[in-house]
C-alpha cells in the first residue's frame, strides 16, 4: 500500500514529538496514531531510559477498541527486544494495529528486526518514509550503534586564515560571544568532553557547559583528559560536577567511554588532540568556528593529520553554515555516511539498556 499524504504529515509531526525527548544513550523517537480515516488520535514520544517507548506511550492513550485497525507512524523501526521495556513490535501486534509506517531502520543487533516481526504477524509495514530526515534526527545514535563507540564531534575556533592562536599563544577570544554561547550549548548536548593535558596545564579550563549568565546547564559533559603529564590537584577541572577521567591514549579513552555508555563525545582540546582524532579517522562531525580576523604565523588550527599528498586528504561535505554574530560556524561531516545501511552493525546494548587551547581558556 503506497504511503499517503496524511501519513507523511504524521511523520513530520512525529519528528517534532521526538525532539521533545532527551538526547542520550537512547534515540529520540516520536509516534503518531492515525484513525482509519487518517486523523491523528494519539501522540507519544520516548522520555528516556526505562520509560515507555514512543509507540507504547501513544498506545496508552487509547482504549483497546480505539487502537484496533489504526495506523502507527513512528520515526524509528519498532524495536524487537525485551530490555527494561518489552518489544514495541509485539505491543503493536497485540494491540491489533493494521499498519505501521516508520522512517529510520533500527540497526541494533538485539533491537532490530521489528519490521519483519510485524509483517510475519500480518501487519502492513511501510519502511523508509522521509528516511533522510529520520536518519538525520538520530544520526549520532545510529553511528554509535554501528561503530560501537561514541559519536565524535571535533570543534575548533580559527581566524579567517586558519590560525588557532597568535604567535605568543594568545587565543582569547578569536570568536565573539555568540559563537562561544553556541559552543556551551553544544557542550550541554554532549555526554563527554575531551581535551589534552596541554590545554589543562596552559588554560586551567573548567570544561563545564554554562549559559551566558554563567549558570550551569542542567546536563554537564563528563570531562576527559588525554595525556601523560600530571594534572594539579587544584585544577579547575577537578571541581567539575563529574569526576574527570584521565587517559594516556586515545584508544583507552574511547574504550572507557564506550563501556560507560557515552553516546556523544565533544573534542575541544586544541590542535594536537583535534589532529590526532582526525588522523585516526574518528571524527564524525567537524565544527569550525571562523572569525573575520587575520593572524598569520604558524599556529594552525590543525597540525599534521597524515596527509602527504592532496589525494590523501579526507573530503568532507558541508552539512550547514550558520552566522553567529560576526562569526561563521561551518559544520562538516565525512562524505561517506557512517550510518548508512551498508555499515556493519556493532554488537552493543540496544536502545533502553541504560547508561588545546582553541578559545577554551578559562572555559
Q: Which of 7, 43, 55, 285 is catalytic?
A: 55
Residue 243 φ then ψ, to 5°? -65, 130
Among candidates 21, 321, 363, 23, which has minimal Cα distance to 193? 363
**C-alpha cell, 169:** 599563544
- Cβ neighbours of residue 243 closer than 8 Å, sequence gap 6 or more: none
Residue 315 φ then ψ, to 5°? -95, 135
Q: What residues does 228 pair with on adjacent strands? A: none
**C-alpha cell, 303:** 597540525
**C-alpha cell, 318:** 558541508
Among candidates 76, 131, 75, 126, which has minimal Cα distance to 97? 126
Burial track 211-229 (b if 16+ CB lie within 10 A, e otherwise)? eeeeeeeeebbbbbbbbee
What distance in Å separates the CA atoms of residue 95 and residue 92, rounded to the nearest whole number? 5
What distance in Å separates the CA atoms of residue 112 and residue 117, rounded to the nearest whole number? 10
Concerning whether 55 is annotated as a catalytic residue, the answer is yes
CB atoms within 10 A of CB 297: 12
- Cβ neighbours of residue 171 closer than 8 Å, sequence gap 6 or more: 157, 164, 165, 357, 358, 359, 360, 361
Give the C-alpha distances (Å, rounded to integers) separating 338 from 88, 92, 150, 207: 26, 30, 12, 28
The string of DSSP codes covering 205-216 is -----B-TTSPB
Reduced to 3 states (helix: H, G, I; strand: E, B; else coil), residue 136 is: helix
Residue with cell 516508520: 102
- How far from the centroid of its chain's Cα atoms is residue 217's Cα? 18
Which residues are the active-site residues? 55
Amino acid at each position: 500500500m503506497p504511503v499517503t499524504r496524511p501519513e507523511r504529515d504524521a511523520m513530520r509531526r512525529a519528528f517534532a514529538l521526538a525532539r521533545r525527548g532527551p538526547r542520550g544513550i537512547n534515540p529520540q523517537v516520536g509516534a503518531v496514531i492515525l484513525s482509519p480515516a487518517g486523523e491523528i488520535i494519539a501522540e507519544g514520544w520516548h522520555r528516556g531510559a526505562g520509560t515507555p517507548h514512543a509507540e507504547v506511550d501513544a498506545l496508552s492513550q487509547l482504549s483497546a477498541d480505539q487502537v484496533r485497525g489504526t495506523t502507527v507512524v513512528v520515526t524509528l523501526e519498532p524495536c524487537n527486544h525485551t530490555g527494561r521495556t518489552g518489544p514495541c513490535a509485539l505491543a503493536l501486534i497485540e494491540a491489533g494495529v493494521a499498519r505501521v509506517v516508520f522512517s529510520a531502520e533500527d540497526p541494533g543487533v538485539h533491537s532490530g528486526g521489528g519490521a519483519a516481526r510485524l509483517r510475519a504477524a500480518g501487519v502492513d509495514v511501510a519502511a523508509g518514509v522521509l528516511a533522510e530526515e529520520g536518519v538525520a534526527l538520530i544520526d549520532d545514535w545510529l553511528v554509535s550503534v554501528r561503530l560501537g563507540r561514541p559519536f565524535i564531534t571535533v570543534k575548533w575556533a580559527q581566524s579567517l586564515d586558519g590560525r588557532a592562536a597568535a604567535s605568543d599563544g594568545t587565543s582569547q577570544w578569536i570568536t565573539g560571544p555568540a559563537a562561544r554561547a553556541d559552543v556551551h550549548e553544544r557542550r550541554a548536548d554532549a555526554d563527554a568532553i575531551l581535551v589534552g593535558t596541554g590545554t589543562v596545564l596552559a588554560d586551567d579550563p573548567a570544561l563545564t557547559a554554562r549559559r551566558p549568565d554563567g549558570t550551569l546547564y542542567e546536563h554537564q559533559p563528563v570531562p576527559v583528559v588525554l595525556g601523560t603529564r600530571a594534572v594539579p590537584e587544584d585544577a579547575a577541572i577537578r571541581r567539575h560536577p563529574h569526576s574527570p577521567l584521565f587517559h594516556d591514549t586515545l584508544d583507552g579513552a574511547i574504550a572507557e567511554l564506550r563501556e560507560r555508555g557515552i553516546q556523544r563525545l565533544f573534542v575541544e582540546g586544541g590542535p594536537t588532540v583535534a589532529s590526532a582524532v582526525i588522523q585516526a579517522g574518528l571524527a564524525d562531525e567537524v565544527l569550525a568556528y571562523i572569525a573575520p580576523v587575520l593572524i598569520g604565523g604558524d599556529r594552525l588550527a590543525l597540525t599534521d593529520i597524515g596527509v602527504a599528498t592532496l589525494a590523501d586528504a579526507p573530503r568532507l561535505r558541508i552539512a550547514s553554515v550558520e552566522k553567529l554574530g560576526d562569526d561563521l560556524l561551518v559544520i562538516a561531516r565525512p562524505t561517506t555516511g557512517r550510518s548508512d545501511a551498508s555499515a556493519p552493525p556493532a554488537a552493543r546494548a540496544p536502545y533502553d539498556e541504560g547508561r588545546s587551547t582553541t578559545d577554551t581558556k578559562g572555559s
